[in-house]
Amino acid sequence: MKQYIVKRLLLIILTLCGLITVIFLVSRVAPGDPARLAAGPDATEEMVEVMRTEFGLDKPLVLQYIAYFKGLFRGNLGRSIRTRRSVLDDLIAFFPATFELTVFSLLFAVVVAIPLGVLCAVYRDRFLDHVARVFSVSGMALPMFWLALMLQLFLALRFDFLPLGGRLGMMTEPPVKITHLFLVDSLLTGNWHAFQDALRHIILPAFVLSFPALASIVRVNRAEMLEVLTRDFITSARAHGISKIRIIGQYALKNALIPTMTMVGLRYGWMLGGTILVETVFDWPGIGLYAVQSAVYSDFQPIMGVTLLIGINFMVANLIIDLVYGALDPRVRYE
């Protein structure tokens, strides 16, 4: 088992190196002068030349590549023209917000969608199934940013149920920074008021972010449950008198979860990408918003930093999903 994790970590590092190479090539191959890109749209000629030497852009490509790698190891991800800070500092500042949002959304999606999928399979073609199907089908077609705006329109602007955006109300002090995750920190320090406020602020963005995931996980789980329930070992379990609840909740579900996990992993990826849209609408101070602001400003280095960070995030998430596979399916354990 440990061997497997080690092997996968090596693979991640390898893929990461590949990603870095691709990023490097994209930034150098891009039309236009990379030095100009790094200097920003309002730079003077002298500033561009300073950039050129500072980033070693006058040296041959291979040396640049090596320098880029060395820089990465030292944590040098470049500098943001817009915020005037190092990209690394910016990422550290903004990542916890995105992490909290995406993890919360994923948990929400999984906790709601999997039981719902089971219920839809068991009560097939009844009212619940039809309603769920309408949501599932529309869930993947609904533009996240539009859903966000519509919910803002009705819940925040028309009727003042939930806040319009941000992580905390303007009057609320953020909780003591332990994990930098507001929900966790406020619970850890017993700060009930901050917890409530953080919760009220995260509900809407998390719901929007998780909506497409909810939709697809319900569909997949339902389909897998229906398929597994036709399998022979279910007939066998029934023949031995095993109760219906156990058959559905254990015998069938554990098998159905295996392909469902694939979908969970995929949707987490889309969630990470979706932060670009959701954080923009809700003014959520995460790296998605950071990336968008950088892109609009033509600030290239931060975008690369965000890409790298989310790439790592996604790969680690996939590794975790693989471990979950191992926990579910004994046949893949000893690879």
Q: What is the identity of the amino acid at 291?
A: A
Instruction: Give the nearer residue to another protein in terms of CB position, either 175 or 205.
Output: 205
In eight-state DSSP terms, residue 161 is T
Tell me the C-alpha distance between 335 and 4, whole Å. 7
**Where in 154-213 is the site for another protein (CB under 8 A)?**
157-158
Site size for another protein, by CB under 8 A? 84
Helix (H) / strand (E) containing 118: helix 87-122
Cβ at position 269, least distance to another protein in Å: 4
Query: What is the residue type of 170?
Result: M
Q: Which part of the chain contacts another protein (CB under 8 A), choosing from 74-82, 114-122, 203-211, 269-277?
A: 269-277
- Residue 241 CB, nearest distance to another protein (Å)? 4
Contacts of another protein in 87-146 (CB under 8 A): 133, 137-138, 140-146
Site for another protein in 26-65 (CB under 8 A): 26-27, 29-32, 37
Judge contact between 303 and 295, C-beta under 8 A: yes
Please identify, among the stretches 20-28, 54-62, 80-88, 107-115, the one whose residues bind another protein according to the rule CB under 8 A: 20-28
Residue from the set 35, 106, 217, 263 that interacts with another protein by CB under 8 A: 263
With vertex at residue 85, the alpha carbon angle to CA 82 and CA 91, rounded to the nearest 5 degrees, is 95
- Are 328 and 251 a contacting pair, CB within 8 Å? no
Name residue 86's beta-bridge partners: 79
Q: Please, what is the minimum distance in Å from the beta carbon of residue 246 to another protein?
A: 7
CA-only gyration radius of the chain, Å:
24
Among 79, 272, 284, 290, binds another protein (CB under 8 A): 272
